[in-house]
Amino acid sequence: MELTTVWFGLIAVLWAGYFLLEGFDFGVGILLPVLGRDDRERRLVINTIGPVWDGNEVWLLVAGGATFAAFPEWYATLFSGFYLPLLIILVALILRGVAFEYRGKRDDATWKRRWDLCIIGGSLVPALLWGVAFGNIVRGVRLDADHEYVGGFFDLLNPYALLGGLTTLTLFTLHGAVFLALKTDGDMRRRAGELAARLAVPVIAVAGAFLLWTAIAHHDVAGWILSAAAALALVGGALATRVRREGWAFLATGATIVLAVFALFVTLFPNVMPSTIADANSLTTTNAASTAYTLKVMTWVAVAFTPIVLAYQGWTYWVFRKRLTVEHIPAAPVPVSPAPAGAAERATP
C-alpha cells in the first residue's frame, strides 16, 4: 500500500476521532441553556467536559497538521477556498475556550450570561459549519486547472452541504445529550436521557437523508456499507436511550459518527477535493501529496508518538470517569473585598 493512501486513511481516523470527542463537547455546549435551569446546573453541565474539552481539540490540530504535511496542495486549496467559514469556526472555538476560563471569574449574573452565550454560539457554529465544509469537500467545488477555488462563498451554501451541516449539528447535539446522561446522576441524568430519546427520531431522519443522498450520488459500494452501518448504529443508539442504557447509547452514537466520517472519506477516495468544473482539475491523493521521503519521516514520527498521546488521553478519561451531580457543585463563593493596605499590620497586637 502506498504511503499516500496510508496517510489519507490516517487523516480520516484523525477527523473521526475529533468529531467523536469534540462532538459531545459541542452537544453539551449547545444544550447548556436547555438542561441548565440555574447557575448551579449550568456549572454542572460545563464541568462534565471541563477536564477534557481542550484535550479533545488536540485532534483538530493534529488533523490539520497532518493534512498540511502529507497533502500540502489539499491544505492550501482548502484553507484558501474555505477561508471565511474556517475563520468563523476558529473565532467560535476561541470564544468558547475563553468563555470556559472566564465565566467563573466574577459572581455576576450578567457576566455569566454573556459568557454562556459564547459557549452556546462557540459550540453551535462549528457543529454546523464543519458539516457544511465536509459536505462541500465530498460533493466537489469549483477548482480550476491550477487547483484554485474559483467559486464564491454562497456556492458553498448548496442544499447538499447545508444538509451535511444540519446532520452534524443534530448528531452532535444528540451525542452531547447522551454524554450528559452518562456523565451525570440524579435529576440531570433523567432529563438528559429523556431529551436524548426525543432528539433521536429527528436525528435519524436528517442523518439518514444525508447518508442516503451521499451513497446514491457516488455509487460507492464501500460507502453504501459504511453508511448502512452508521444508520444501524444510530437506530441502536435511539433504542438504547429509550431503555436508559447510557453506556450503550454513547457507544452507538460514537460509532455513528466514526462510521459516517469513514463513509465520507471512502466515498471521496482517491480524490481529496473533487472539481465540479472538470475531473482533471480535481486534487487526488497523488497530485496533492508531499514527497515520498516526507511521508516516510511522518510515518515514523506517528508510530513513535501516537501511542503516547492515546495513552495519556485515555488516562485522563479514566481519572475523570465518575458521574457528577449538583451536590458536587459548591455554591458560588461571595467575592470578598480586599482589606485596606496596612490593615493586617494594624490588627497585629
- Asked if residue 82 has pLDDT above 70, the reply is yes
What pLDDT does 332 receive? Answer: 62
Q: What percent of the chain has pLDDT over 90?
A: 72
Among 89-98, 262-271, 322-331, the least confident range: 322-331
Q: Does domain 3-329 have CATH number 1.20.1630.10?
A: yes
Pairwise CA distance, residues 279 & 292, whole Å: 25
Mean pLDDT of the chain: 90
Pairwise CA distance, residues 183 & 163, whole Å: 30
Pairwise CA distance, residues 217 & 215, whole Å: 6
Pairwise CA distance, residues 285 & 102, whole Å: 43
Place of cell 497532518: 66
Q: What is the pLDDT of residues 167-222, one digit of tens each?
A: 999 999 999 999 999 999 999 999 999 999 999 999 999 999 999 999 888 888 99
- Asked if residue 334 has pLDDT above 70, the reply is no
Mean pLDDT within 222-240: 93
Q: What is the pLDDT of residues 24-68, one digit of tens each?
A: 999 999 999 999 989 899 999 999 998 899 889 999 999 999 999
Beta bridge partners of 247: none
Q: What is the pLDDT of residues 90-138, one digit of tens each?
A: 999 999 999 999 998 888 889 999 999 999 999 999 999 999 999 999 9
